[in-house]
């Protein structure tokens, strides 16, 4: 495993331990790498009104952007799933908003798969003018 992937994996697993999941019990962690080299961590945070729950991916991305990162290079998401975890559609679109090109999806057993943004969300929504 590459040093970066390993570091992101460890940071995401660490973040996962801070998840607030009183309803599902399903902890998810994420670690996002900013262009500055700093890593931002996030965990899922549930709410009694399920629609207000926020996923680990969006927590990590929001922390990075709110702390001044302008470009995000990679993200790793980890959960206790049989295979690598799969982000929800909202998180995929959030990754698209900030053009995160390297996306690692993992589980606690250490299975990690690498994807590009186009692979996990082809034809994502953007306000940029499309060229034909």
Which residues fall in the annotated binding site for substrate?
A: 44-50
Which residues carry a binding-site annotation for Zn(2+)?
55, 88, 91
- The interaxial angle of helices 56-66 and 3-16, nearest 10 deg, is 110
Strand-strand pairing, 39-43 and 112-115: unpaired
∠ at Cα 124 (120, 130), nearest 5°?
A: 135
Q: How far is 84 from 67, CA to CA, in rounded Å?
A: 29
128 is catalytic: no
Tokens found for residue 108: 């606690």
Per the residue annotation, which of 57, 97, 114, 128 is the catalytic one?
Answer: 57
Query: Residue 71: which of 38, 29, 112, 119 has the closest Cα?
Result: 38
Active-site positions read: 57
């Amino acid at each position: 495993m590459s040093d970066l992937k390993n570091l992101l994996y460890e940071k995401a697993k660490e973040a996962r331990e801070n998840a607030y999941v009183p309803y599902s019990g399903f902890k998810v962690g994420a670690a996002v790498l900013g262009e500055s080299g700093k890593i931002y961590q996030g965990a899922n945070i549930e709410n009694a009104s399920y629609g207000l729950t926020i996923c680990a991916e969006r927590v990590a991305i929001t922390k990075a952007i709110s702390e001044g990162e302008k470009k995000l290079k990679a993200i790793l998401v980890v959960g206790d799933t049989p295979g690598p975890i799969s982000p929800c559609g909202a998180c995929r679109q959030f990754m698209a908003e900030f053009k995160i090109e390297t996306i690692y999806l993992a589980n606690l057993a250490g299975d990690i798969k690498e994807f590009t943004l186009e692979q996990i969300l082809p034809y994502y929504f953007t306000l940029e003018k499309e060229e034909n």
